[in-house]
Structure 1
Amino acid sequence: MESIVERLNSIIWSPPLVWLCLGAGLYFSIRTRFVQVRQVREMVRLMLAGGKSDAGVSSFQALAMSLSGRVGIGNIAGVATAIAFGGPGALFWMWVMAFLGASTAFVESTLAQIYKEKDDNGRYRGGPAYFIEKAMGQRWYAWIFAIVTIVAAGFLLPGVQANGIASAANTAWGTAPAVAAAIIVVGLGFIIFGGVKRIARFAELVVPFMALAYILIALVIMFINAAALPEMFGLVFRSAFGLEAGMGAVLGLAVEWGVKRGIYSNEAGQGTGPHHAAAAEVSHPAKQGLVQAFSVYVDTLLVCSATAFMILSTGMYNVVAPGGEGAMLYEALPGVAVGPSFAQAAVESVLPGWGASFVALALFFFAFTTIIAYYYMAETNIAYINRRMHRPWMIFALRLGLLAAVTFGCLRTAEMAWTLGDIGVGLMAWLNIIAILILQRPALRALRDYEAQQTLGVDPVFDPDALGIRNAELWHDIRATHRIESERT
């Protein structure tokens, strides 16, 4: 069974997908005239602005929900894995993926906003399945994406996060995997049975705090190891291009693992972020597109880099050569496994006595909120499937299935958990990137319209008819609401 899963993963994550992700990011960067650079100031402003309503959450809540999905075990164990199998240079390619991927995130999230709908409970819903059907007119393609996302986000990906929590808790406190599973299941049950508003409130409170605390500890460790930083940065760049002695053989692996773990972590192009973007209450789709582009920066340039800097500056890592043997580039800690233990050993070496516990707690919150985000994605795609036929049992089955997947993830091997997670990410990325390359035009029109109104000094309001965008009926009501509010003020 494991050999079949490994073979499937190698097919999905073949070089064409790696280059498709990089190529799409570069293409969208050029088409948007590098919106991820030009509009950084606007991204920050929008992140803190925007209202919410009974139908949608605020821009910041949507950002927090999105970050809860992006910031997870990939930011700790995923970074360690990338370094182990791709060398320190994998971090550079994660940065490249984040920079280019921010433009991809803008396009997919703007499309999600343009073609969002209201569900039976009056809440905004959207994502790739919605814009594939409404913009492309290919319902079969939309159903395939929806089904793949339900399986990936509801059953494959949660196991990776749960496995990381159990592993870190066992390293820090000797907690049995079964005990970790019970704690996670109880907490998740309380949140996911409370609905999207409870998910948004939880993410809004937890995500900023945990990310800032983690980055702060990384800065402390970097300050303590300041003398090692020049060599560390030099190593990253030399390794990225195969210039480090003994690392030339893993040059291709640096690109592959940097892109692979970069996508797993920041999710740009994967099709997950659009689900959260569509839930926001905004006056123009490009607003949430810009906010979601900024979330890619937060995930990779800040949180992932924090993990990498802790591991590299303290030397608590090794690199697995293509032949399978470990090539020690610093005095790596004997017996440290690939995964959360790398980061735990790094913090423990500088802050003995509580470093491993801190990373375990950070990982718990990172992974726990990510599982919640996965549930929301799967629920949104079930809502898509249920638009024409009411099947309430599907949501209940999803909740039970996700809790079972989390329990199973805590008890199975980390290698199998990661392989299944990679399959889920890869399938979604293939389907979503091809779709947004075909459907890019409405997002680009929305960007031009937003920037034209921005130049006039007005708060941009979206009018799909004026831009020749069809099947965006919900925006007629949204536009009317914003007009009434403007007249009142």
Structure 2
Amino acid sequence: MNAIVDFLNTVLWNYVLVYGLLGTGLFFTLRLGFIQFRHFPEYFRVITGSRATSANGITPMQALTVSLASRVGTGNLAGVAVAIYLGGPGAIFWMWIVALLGMATAYAESTLAQLYKVRNGEGQYRGGPAFYMANGVGSRTMGYVFSVCLILSFGLIFSAVQSNSISESMAGAFGIPGWMTGLGVAAVAGIVIFGGIRSIAKVAERIVPAMAGIYLLVALYVIIIDIDEVPAMLALIVKSAFGFEAAAGGFTGGILAALLNGVKRGLFSNEAGMGSAPNIAATAVPDPHHPSSQGLVQGLGVFIDTIVICTATALMILLSGAVDYGPDGAQGMVLTQNALSEHIGTAGPIFIAIAILFFAFTSIIGNYSYAESAMEFLGLGKTVPLLVLKAAVMGMVFWGAVQPVSAVFNLADASMAVMATINITAILILSKTVARLTRDYFDQKAQGRVPLFRFKDHPDLNRGIDPTIWNRDVEAERR
């Protein structure tokens, strides 16, 4: 079984996804007229100007913070360090490219998730890739395979991975035994996830901005005290990406190592094209009431995750001089902790441990929300199946805190790779619909109107869309 999983990972990660994700991002960037560059201010406007509240779904800001809760995790701390150790500073450049192109991909997938969303038995909005695969592409089989992979990887295995990171950091900084950490995290996560998606959204809305803000303030302090070296480090990142300058410390991996590790770790971090964030994007009430506005919200999430937070981590590591590319050099979380120790002393590892606690905890609850949407698609959104899933998530959180997770991490990699492959296939098939929605949104903006999408104005989009959602007179309801 391990041999099969390793082979699948080699093929999908080293060939299909590295080039498939970059190609998909480039395709949507071109097809949508460089939307992430030409309309960059709109990515912020749909959040700052949002007024949407509804009993049917969560707000755009809540959708952004839940998706960031999943995106901003160990990948932003340990993942960046792994990318630098294995791919050199140049790997960060390719993480940037993945993010900039991924903003268009994330826009496309979340726009489709909004368009094809449905109401569940309680009247709550649900949707995601499985729904647009079934209702847009016309393949329920794609949706079933995607949903199973999502539940396996995000719902279960990644919960153990995040818990393991919390456990290791708590043991290293405070000497807390893994079983105690596991019980504590499982208990608190259980309280949140048993409250459902609305509970997750409320917690994420409070924790995510605070944790990201504090982390960025520490990074800003590090950058300010070493400001003279920052331009040289940024130049090193770009030059190393193309092999123009070898990294200090003897890194010899070359351009391919930088490309592969930057793309892989970039996807791990921002999840653009993977099909995860659209599950929460579909539960939001968009403002303006148009599918594209929620696509813009999730595109902003990619920018914040990688361009802002991952870059902050990378600069802290590179400015510290703590990177040792030898076989015995520190990597992962240890490298990040060592780097911050160089900047702020013994408080460094403690700060990273606390950051990991919040980053990884919010990833656990954010990932669960994705799994719940997949359960809805599989027809398992009833009380008993969801109780089983919640109990399983809590069990995996405890297990991950006390056991090494390397044995199942390869399986999670494979499951995530299958998810991403199916998802990018679906959004490419539906790219014409994405382009049409984009034109409709920005044509209305150009006419000075608030962009609204009404199903009755687009009669040829007549398959798989709930007209009761998209024929609402939003302005009349507000009045």
> Residue by residue, what CA displacement relative to the aligned partner does 1:277-321 show, whole Å, maximum 9, x if unpaired?
1111121000001111111000000111111111111012233xx
State the match for 2:311 in structure 1.
305
% identity of equivalent residues: 38
Q: 1:305 is aligned with what amino acid?
A: T
Matched residue, 2:279: 275
Equivalent in 427, 449, 458 of residue 449 of structure 2:
458
The partner residue of 1:284 within 290, 300, 304 is: 290
User: In structure 1, how many angstroms separate the alpha carbons of the residues matched to 2:362 and 2:214?
Assistant: 15
Structure 1, residues 416-475: CA drift from partner, whole Å, max 9, x if none?
464344223212111111111111121211110000111111111102342321235434
Match of 2:157 in 1: 156
Q: Is the Cα contact below 8 Å between 2:126 and 2:373 reproduced in 1? A: yes
Residue 349 of structure 2: which of 325, 348, 356 is its match?
A: 356
CA deviations 1:180-229 (Å, max 9, x no partner) are 11111011110000111110100100001111111110111111222332
> Deviations for 1:382-426, whole angstroms, at most 9, x for unmatched residues?
01111xx77533211211211122222223335446434422321
Bigger shift: residues 174-183 or 266-275:
174-183
**How many Å separate the matches in 2 of 1:279 and 1:391?**
17
1:347 equivalenced with 2:330 (yes/no):
no
Q: For 1:311 and 1:416, how far apart are their aligned partners in 2?
A: 28
1:39 matched to 2:39:
yes
Which runs of no fewer than 5 residues in structure 2 stay unpaired? none
Is 1:182–2:191 an aligned residue pair? no
8 Å CA contact retained: 2:113, 2:132:
yes
How many residue pairs match? The answer is 472
Match of 2:27 in 1: 27
Question: After the TM superposition, which residues 71-82 of structure 1 pair with which residues of structure 2 at under 5 Å, given as runs?
Answer: 71-82=72-83
For 1:201, the equivalent position in structure 2 comes to: 202
Structure 2 counterpart SS, 1:280: coil
In the alignment, what sits opposite 2:234? 233
Q: Is the 8 A contact 2:130 2:147 kept in 1?
A: yes
3-12 vs 176-185, greater mean Cα deviation: 3-12
> 2: CA distance between counterparts of 1:363 and 1:422?
21
Paired letter, 2:254: V
Deviation at 1:363, TM superposition (A): 1.1
Q: 1:255 aligns with which of 259, 267, 289?
A: 259
Q: Letter of the aligned partner of 2:10 in structure 1?
A: S
Q: Verify the 8 A CA contact 2:55 2:124 in the aligned structure 1.
A: yes
Residues 24 and 104 in structure 1, CA contact (< 8 A), matched pair in contact too: yes
CA distance in 1, matches of 2:333, 2:456: 50
Q: Does 1:134 align with 2:126?
A: no
Unmatched runs of 5 consecutive residues or more in structure 1: 320-324, 327-334
Distance in 2, Cα, partners of 1:317 & 1:417: 28
Q: Distance in 2 between matches of 1:315 and 1:353?
A: 17
Q: Which amino acid aligns with 1:360?
A: A
Amino acid at match of 2:37: V
CA shift digits 1:313-351 (9 cap, x unpaired) = 1012233xxxxx54xxxxxxxx76322222211122211
Structure 1 contact 463–476 (Cα < 8 Å) conserved: no
Distance (whole Å) between structure 1 residues aligned to residue 384 and residue 30 of structure 2: 45
Deviation, structure 1 residue 147: 1.2
Following the alignment from structure 2 to structure 1, what is the Cα–Cα distance between the partners of residues 383 and 219?
45
Alignment-derived partner of residue 408 in structure 1: 399
2:11 corresponds in structure 1 to: 11
Does residue 386 of structure 2 align to residue 395 of structure 1? yes
What letter is aligned with 1:281?
Answer: V
**Maintained 8 Å contact 1:155/1:402:** yes
TM-score, normalised to structure 2's length?
Answer: 0.94
1:315 and 2:321 correspond:
yes
2:472 alignment partner, one of 450, 466, 480: 480
> Any conservation in 2 of the 1:115–1:472 contact (CA below 8 Å)?
yes
Q: What's the TM-score once normalised by structure 1's chain length? A: 0.92
Letter in 2 for 1:399: K
- C-alpha displacement at 1:240, in angstroms? 0.8
